[in-house]
């Protein structure tokens, strides 16, 4: 192997994509079982590797040299093979620092709760202490000399300024979970979640709903990879490279979600946008028809609106976890707040704001088949669309122009 990543399970890793974008070397994802780690590390059949769960500590005995930074943290995520001599370093520290600085969440003089006691929590502790936090408190499921329990966190530390999640809780596929409730944390300025799949975890969405800044772990992932690439190649790489690759990956992973009134042009604009950006397109109404095996008018007439909305929620939950897809939704998709949260997990929501006078009734939309029905719906739903949307876009005369307006926000 030239360069690559070793870990026990690597099904969702973005590392290959990030390293290969640099164009300096090939990069393989290499699953190594616990029984095979000894053979892999003693054969040294690689030029450079990154190391992930669960081997960041286990590789240390095989190394001939180790950086002071990696020694201090007690974990190695980058190993270079220099003619048989293995040198280990830790770029998670630099990646975590870059993430916190990018988030704009102030650490100096603040009280920070770190959730979890694994390798990432240890890195976070080192970074946050070095950034001048007033106090850093580790929270664990198991209380110890160095960590408090979650019960103590919510009874003794509701005045925390920042919460950093360094546990896997909320990660795909169990995206409904949050490691802690934010109720009562009335001082909270920011939440940092090291998870990047989904892009917006339940914890982050809870924070934003309370007006609290929240940042995911994608920037850390990219920044630590670029720092590892510097070690592999001996070249200094600019912050602009990190930012460019971060934006590329974000765009590839982020869905573009279109919401708005029936007849506002979501499907047409969505298809146009998908074609122009070479992204897949899905329409949640079409997914419902496929799932139910009947048209929407028939679902309404045979089973009623509530049944339709339940099907819609099921379909939206699945669609929300797609990546890099243009998703057109039904007019009522945002009526349930839980649907909005599902769509936000990986998506940016655009409200296509078309004046009510331009919305045309059609027979295939049971709730919008008459002008009066459209006007009544519009009055009720307009504030709901505005509240659900990250961005409101006025609908132009052509789908191309509306698609262009959306692209300007990406």
Give the range of 27-35, 188-196, 366-374, 386-394 binding ligand NAP by CB under 6 A: 188-196
Applying the rule CB under 6 A, the residues between 319 and 378 that interact with ligand NAP are none
Distance between the two ends of the chain, CA-based, in angstroms?
A: 37
SS3 400: helix
3 state SS of 258:
strand
Residue with smaller CB distance to ligand NAP, 53 or 391: 53
Could you give the CA distance from residue 255 to residue 346 in angstroms, rounded to a whole number? 6
**Residue 90 interacting with ligand NAP (CB under 6 A):** no
Reply yes or no on whether 371 is catalytic.
no
Interaxial angle between packed helices 92-103 and 218-233, expressed in degrees from 0 to 180 and rounded to the nearest 10: 140
Q: What does the per-residue mask of binding to ligand NAP show for 29-58, with x meaning CB under 6 A?
A: ------------------------x-----
Does position 74 interact with ligand NAP (CB under 6 A)? The reply is: no
* Cβ neighbours for 91, distance < 8 A, ≥ 6 positions apart: 77, 78, 224, 225, 227, 228, 231
Using CB under 6 A as the binding rule, whether residue 263 contacts ligand NAP is answered as no
Q: Considering only residues 78, 91, 224, 402, which one is a binding residue for ligand NAP as defined by CB under 6 A?
A: 224
Which 110-149 positions form the footprint of ligand NAP (CB under 6 A)?
116-121, 140-142
Pair of tokens at residue 252: 């590839």
C-alpha–C-alpha distance, residues 359 and 362, integer Å:
10
Q: Which is nearer to ligand NAP, 74 or 168 (CB)?
A: 168
Count CB atoms within 10 A of the CB of residue 48. 22
CB of 153 to ligand NAP, least distance (A): 11
User: How many angstroms separate the Cα of 134 from the Cα of each of 74, 78, 93, 151, 162?
Assistant: 23, 31, 19, 22, 11
- Using CB under 6 A, pick the residue from 6, 169, 212, 349 that binds ligand NAP: 169
Q: What is the nearest approach in angstroms of ligand NAP to the Cβ of residue 95?
A: 6
Total of chain residues touching ligand NAP, rule CB under 6 A: 25
Candidate list 16, 21, 56, 236, residue with the active-site label: 56
Q: How many CB atoms lie within 10 A of CB 6?
A: 23
Which residues contact ligand NAP by CB under 6 A?
53, 92, 95, 116-121, 140-142, 166-169, 171, 179, 194-196, 217, 220-221, 224
């Amino acid at each position: 192997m030239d360069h690559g990543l070793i870990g026990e399970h690597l099904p969702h890793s973005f590392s290959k994509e990030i390293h290969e974008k640099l164009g300096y070397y090939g990069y393989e994802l290499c699953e190594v079982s616990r029984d095979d780690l000894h053979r892999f590390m003693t054969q040294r059949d690689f030029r450079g590797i990154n190391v992930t769960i669960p081997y960041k500590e286990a590789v240390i005995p095989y190394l001939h040299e180790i950086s002071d930074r990696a020694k201090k943290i007690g974990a190695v995520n980058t190993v270079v093979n220099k003619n048989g001599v293995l040198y280990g370093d830790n770029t998670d520290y630099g990646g975590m620092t870059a993430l916190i600085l990018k988030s704009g969440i102030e650490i100096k003089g603040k009280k920070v709760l770190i959730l979890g006691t694994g390798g990432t929590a240890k890195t976070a502790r080192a970074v946050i202490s070095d950034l001048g936090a007033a106090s850093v408190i580790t929270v664990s499921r198991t209380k110890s000399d160095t960590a408090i329990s979650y019960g103590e966190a919510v009874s003794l530390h509701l005045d925390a300024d920042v919460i950093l999640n360094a546990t896997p809780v909320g990660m795909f596929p169990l995206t409904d979970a949050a490691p802690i409730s934010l109720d009562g944390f009335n001082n909270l300025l920011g939440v940092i979640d090291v998870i990047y799949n989904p892009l917006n975890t339940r914890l982050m969405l809870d924070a934003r709903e309370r007006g609290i800044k929240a940042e995911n772990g994608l920037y850390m992932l990219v920044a630590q990879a670029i720092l590892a690439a510097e070690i592999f190649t001996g070249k200094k790489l600019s912050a602009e490279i990190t930012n460019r690759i971060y934006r590329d990956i974000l765009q590839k992973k982020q869905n573009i979600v279109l919401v708005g009134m029936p007849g506002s042009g979501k499907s047409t604009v969505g298809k146009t946008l998908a074609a122009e950006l070479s992204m897949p397109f899905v329409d949640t109404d079409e997914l419902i028809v496929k799932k139910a095996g009947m048209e929407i008018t028939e679902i309404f007439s045979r089973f009623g609106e509530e049944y339709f909305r339940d099907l819609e929620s099921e379909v939206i939950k699945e669609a929300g976890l797609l990546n890099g897809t243009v998703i057109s939704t039904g007019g009522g998709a945002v009526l349930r707040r839980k649907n909005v949260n599902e769509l936000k997990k990986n998506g940016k929501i655009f409200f296509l704001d078309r004046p009510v006078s331009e919305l045309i009734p059609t027979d295939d939309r049971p709730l919008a088949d008459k002008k009066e029905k459209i006007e009544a719906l519009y009055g009720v739903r307009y504030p709901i669309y505005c509240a659900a949307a990250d961005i409101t876009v006025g609908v132009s005369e052509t789908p191309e122009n509306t698609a262009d307006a959306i692209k300007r926000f990406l």
